[in-house]
Structure formats: C-alpha cells, structure tokens
Amino acid sequence: MNKIPILIILIIFTGLSVSNYVFGKSVVAKKPNIIFILTDDLGYGDLGILFQNQRKAAGKPYHSTPNLDRIASEGMILTRHYAPAPVCAPSRATLLLGLHQGHAEIRNNQFDKALPDNHNLATVLKEAGYATALIGKYGLQGLEGTSPATWEAYPTKRGFDYFFGYVRHRDGHNHYPAHHVADRGPMELYDGNTEISGNLAGCYTTDLFTARAKKYIQDHKNANNDQPFFMYLAYDTPHAGLEVPSMSYPSGGGISGGLQYIGEKGNFINTAQGEVDSFIHPEYRNENWPEVQQRHASMVRRIDNAVGDLVQLLQDLAIDGETLIVFTSDNGPHLESYGYGNYAPTFFESFANMDGTKRDTWEGGIRVPTLVRWPGKIKKSTQNDTPSGFHDWLPTFAEVGGVPAPANTDGRSLWPILSGNANIQGGKVYIEYFNNTNTSNYESFLESRRGQKRGEMQVLYLDGYKGIRYNISSHEDDFNIFDTKNDPGELNNLAGTNEEFVTLQNEMKNSVLRWRRYNASAERPYDNEPVPAVVPEREVAEGIKVSKYKVNSPWVPYINTGLEAPKESVVLSKIEAIPRGNENNVLVYEGFLKVENTGEYEISFQTNGGLVMHVHEALIIDDDHAKLAKGVGTSEIILEKGFHPIKIVTKLLDNNEAPKLELTWSGPGFQNKYLAVYH
C-alpha cells in the first residue's frame, strides 16, 4: 500500500487585543439613513472641487458643480477611491456583493448577468432593520427572462423592498424612456413590477429618478419615521447618449421646490414639459464650445442640481443629521455620444491630471470622485488618500447599521476613517479586467500609453504603491509600480529602481495569486499558476488554534481575529467538533496547511451549519447564504509546496442539532484524506 501524505495544520501564536467593536451593536447611537448615489461614467475631473475649479483658475474651459462642491466641504473626500473595474456591470456587482473582482461572479463586460443570490448591500441592511430601495439603473437582472416574474435576479429578488427604474444595461443609454432620441428608441422602465414607460412622456431620467427618490423619502418619513432606509440611487447619466433636459431646473428644492413627483400619465413629474432633449444650461449655452461639450456640462450640472435638491429635502424633513450620503461614479469618463457627433472627454479633461478613461485601469479609468457626508458624524472639509474600493461599502454600512459583515466579504469598513478615528484602512484594492481595444490616443496622455493595447489588465495596491499590468501574456510579466499619492499621472515607474522595488515586484506577483480565484467565465493568463507558499514568521507546531465567539449574526460573520478578542481560544491537534456552548456560536480556525508537493488540490466539505474558508485571502468555500448553501461541495486550488495560511469560520446552528463539519482533500498521490471531522 502506498503511504498517504499527511496534511499538517500548524499555527503561529499571536497576541490578541480587545476591540472597541461590539458585535450586533451599531457604532453610533442611532442607525442612519443611507443614500448611496452612483453616477454613470462621471470622471474624477468632472467635479469642480476636484479639478474643474483648477481649470477655471487657469483660464481654461470649465463646468461647475456648486452643490457637490458644497457637499464636499460638508464632509470628506476620498481622494483615492477606486471602482473595481473600469466599466459598469462588474463595478455595480462588486458594490452590491462586497467582493472584489478576484471573487465576484460578474467580471469583464458581462452586462445583464444575474447578480448571485448571496449577501449584498440590500440583504445585509434589510437584516439590520432597514427599508431598502433601488431607484435608477440596475443591469444585473439575468440574461434569461423578459419581465420581473421571469428575470432571475430582479432587484426585489435580491433584497430590495422597492425598485423604480431601468432593468437592462442598454436601456440606460436613452435618458428619455418614452421617446426616440438620436439613435436610441424608447425603453422599458419599471415601477415595482409594472412597466410604466407609456406614462413618462417628457420625462428625463435624472429628473425622474430624483423626483421618485424625493417622494420615497417623504413617504417613508411619514409612514415609517422610526425605521432607517437604505436607498441606492443609480443615475444613468452622464453616460451617453448625450441627451439633455427639456427645461431649466425648477427653483428651490426640498419639500416645496425643485423636482416634484406627480404620477399622472403625461404629467409624471413637474419637468415633463417643453421640448425634449433641448435644454443647455445658461452658463454654457453661449460659450464657444462644441455642442457635445455643452451637452456633457449640462448633464453634469443637472446631477449637481438634483443632489442639492435631495440634501435640501433632508434638511426640510429634519433628517439631514440622521442621513449618511455617499456620492461616486461607476468608472472613469466615457468617450461616446450615441448619435450626437464626435465626443471626447479631453475638452474638460474629465480624467483630471491622470491618464486613462472608461475601460482603462490607468488612474483616469478607475479613480472615481467620492464624497461622503453625514453632518455631526463626519468632520467637515476633510480628505483621506488611503486607497479603498467599492467592496468596502458593504462592511462600512454593516458597521454603522449594527450588524457584522458576512465572512465572505473582501471589504473592510471605512468607518474608522470616516469617523476620524484612523488615518489608514487595512483593506485591499484589487482589479482585473479584459478589453480587446486600445487606450485613447490623447495628446495629454503619456506618449507610451497612447493607443496602448489593453488586453488583460490587473491592478493591486501593496504597501501603499499601485502595481499595474497591461496586455498580460504571462504571470512573469512585470508590474509597473507607481506612488499615485504623489504621482497621480503615473509618470514615474518605480519598478526595478532599487532593491525595495525589486522585492515589491515579487510580492505583487505573489499577492495577486493569493488574493483571487479562477472563474471559468473570465479566464486569465495566470489562472494555472500555483499559489505561492509563505515562510511563517515564527516557529510553528502541529495543531490548529480555535477561537470561540458569541456573535449576534444571521450569517457567518467576518471576524478580525487580530483585533476582536474571543471568549476563549484553544489549541487542538486537528480540526474537530467542539460541543455547543451557551456563550459561543461562532468558531474561527486559524493555522497553516503544509503542502508536500506543488499541484492542484481539491477540498471537499460537508456541513450542517454555515461555513466560509479562505486559503491566504482566496475565498475557497462560501457555503453560508441560506439560498446558496448546499452543505456539501468541492473547491479546487493550485498550491505551491510549503505553508499556506488558512482561516475557517463556522456558525453553529440555532437549534440543538449536533454540529457537523467534514473537510477532506485530494492532491498529488492521495485521495480523500480527512482534513477535519466534526462529530
């Protein structure tokens, strides 16, 4: 009989410090309302306070965002906040799921693919007691189906109590759902399960979504004043087509002014009048600019008006101090017009002092304007330059909502930064994306990037530096390395300039393999590379450390074992069942796998409780969500010979059934060796 290789699980003993965070309790006295405003293709440089005001001072053509500038002065600007991909569908999926593009199921240009029925912003906040609403553009409904009943992932099937807006990705390319404009025809728009585009004559979507958002907030205030709400307000502008409103923005704002929802056919909102697609903002109509640039500036100004209107409403309702607002964009600026002639974002330098546009992973394509405002809780006129990303919002909102984040999330809460209690965040920025086109040939871009082949692209941040690869053919391809805090234009490539960056190059190559998983729908050139092993910092011994926690959580919770002190920790010779206790319902196993031979390994599991497992930072098992969990399954990963850190989090059942967990693995030379058994 052949000798079966033995899997050894080892641990490093580390000290634990007590966290200020209390599981299941909000970090603030009262859970805030949350409004997440996502614009479509708004560039970092399109905001006055971020770049347009500089152009004004330099005597260059500029457009204005006075309301957004004021909002920025009333809160915090995240100056290095990143979209997870330079195009909308994967960005929106990552935002909702809290998973970066190394783990999210929707990648590349997978428009209209179904959002998995896993934990997301809406389901998490719903569990935290929030009413949830999505108003605007969705695009994650599923490729099959033609109606709310048949779309697999219609918003109300993914945690949203209410939906109003465009379902399909392409529908958002026409901002007049009832009209044919330029080269786009009328589009379906839904109110709940009812298609209502026939009622929307004259309605411009920026106005329509804003008016509906205002009505939702007022209705909720009147009917459910004690319940917080979460609103995902997803504008489909300033994405092309370059349609503009039919009339000026109504005076005032809030309850009695600004946009008003009427709800009558043909008179649905108070700006559903005048000639559609005709209004250029008066500050721009007499400028000697190309019409497409007048249109773009007017579209951005309309968003600015709308956000100012919403803030005024919060003030009128006396809930301004109870509402957290995030304003951002899904990727960098576009370069399409869809029927209005030649358009480029160069006229206003919508990419600011950076290279890249939508579909690029240079800074201009992924760094997005991000403002966060919560009067009395977020200090005015502050900035933070810590790299962060969309997947961080799920744990952030979970923390302020008083629930733990799900253990599968790649994000880390931004609340310590937003509250002023920290200057940096311990999260990760990771981006991968494929596009078979070239970077634009703009004169303001670095010459070597003009017309550059995109292909497979990859970005990560490590030790404060950005690593970026374009047109990747092999994992051996080097990263360009930039200090984007001081060099946002990415002009000075630090790769190979000294021993520090030679070492960092190697660590970046190792890290991207440890942070992500293979996905058959988006294959990459580095998918078949073995995950590099690590050298433990201290002497290790056989065994596994098990930490016990009492957590009020409807799912397997994310636990930072370096900060959150357990009720008890023990060391076991192997992963095995621990009798259920009254005080502990979550177990965290931490240690190392000792891999004897480089090769592909299959890990199999059986469980009757929630289970989330990471090897390094790669999400290997996610069997937690009630609608996805099967209690049995397998996962494959290619591992290099040596030590690999693991973290397994289990949540015991809320009944008296004995907990069960069996983990086995197969690899080079052996089959179905037990990794651990709960019994």
387 cis-preceded (ω within 30 degrees of 0): no
Q: Which 8-state DSSP code applies to residue 458?
A: E
Residues 346, 61 contacting (CB under 8 angstroms): no
**What pLDDT was estimated at residue 7?**
42
Asked if pLDDT for residue 509 goes beyond 50, the answer is: yes
Q: How many CB atoms lie within 10 A of CB 377?
A: 19
CA 128, CA 123: separation in Å to the nearest integer?
Answer: 9
Residues 508, 467 contacting (CB under 8 angstroms): yes
**What pLDDT was estimated at residue 543?**
83
DSSP letter string, 131-147? EEEEEEE---S-SS-SS
Asked if pLDDT for residue 328 goes beyond 70, the answer is: yes
Asked if pLDDT for residue 202 goes beyond 50, the answer is: yes
Residues 652, 585 contacting (CB under 8 angstroms): yes
**What pLDDT was estimated at residue 336?**
96
State the greatest distance between any 2 C-alpha atoms of the chain, in Å, as a whole number: 88
**What pLDDT was estimated at residue 23?**
53
Q: Which 8-state DSSP code applies to residue 49?
A: I
CA 28, CA 85: separation in Å to the nearest integer?
Answer: 32
- How many residues are present in the chain? 679
Asked if pLDDT for residue 251 goes beyond 80, the answer is: yes
CA 46, CA 234: separation in Å to the nearest integer?
Answer: 17
Q: What is the CATH number of domain 8-21+533-677?
A: 2.60.120.260
CA 360, CA 345: separation in Å to the nearest integer?
Answer: 14
CA 24, CA 555: separation in Å to the nearest integer?
Answer: 12
Structural domain boundaries of the chain? 8-21+533-677, 33-210+231-301+324-426, 431-515
CA 590, CA 571: separation in Å to the nearest integer?
Answer: 10
- The model's confidence at residue 663, banded by pLDDT at 50, 70 and 90, is confident
- The model's confidence at residue 291, banded by pLDDT at 50, 70 and 90, is very high
**What pLDDT was estimated at residue 341?**
96
Q: In what order do the strands lie in the sheet with 670-677?
A: 575-576, 670-677, 661-667, 599-607, 632-639
Asked if pLDDT for residue 656 goes beyond 50, the answer is: yes
Phi, psi of 93 (to 5 degrees): -65, -45
Share of the chain above pLDDT 70, in %: 94
Return the structure tokens found at 156: 């109300």
Return the structure tokens found at 208: 């329509």
Asked if pLDDT for residue 664 goes beyond 90, the answer is: no
Which residues are within 8 A (CB) of 498 and not within 5 positions of it... i.e. 6 or more apart? none
Tell the residue number behind the tokens 């400028």, with chain if given: 287
Asked if pLDDT for residue 15 goes beyond 60, the answer is: no
Residue spans of beta strands (DSSP E) within 539-660:
541-542, 544-549, 568-572, 575-576, 586-595, 599-607, 610-615, 618-623, 632-639, 642-651
**What pLDDT was estimated at residue 652?**
80
Residues 582, 619 contacting (CB under 8 angstroms): no
Residues 70, 77 contacting (CB under 8 angstroms): no
Asked if pLDDT for residue 20 goes beyond 60, the answer is: no
Return the structure tokens found at 375: 């009067």
What CATH architecture does domain 33-210+231-301+324-426 belong to? Answer: 3-Layer(aba) Sandwich (3.40)
> By three-state DSSP, how is residue 215 classified?
helix
Please state whether the predicted TM-score (pTM) of the whole model is above 0.75. Answer: yes
pLDDT tens-place string over residues 579-615 = 666 567 899 999 988 899 999 999 999 888 889 999 9
- The model's confidence at residue 19, banded by pLDDT at 50, 70 and 90, is very low
> By three-state DSSP, how is residue 652 classified?
coil
Asked if pLDDT for residue 474 goes beyond 60, the answer is: yes
**What pLDDT was estimated at residue 3?**
31
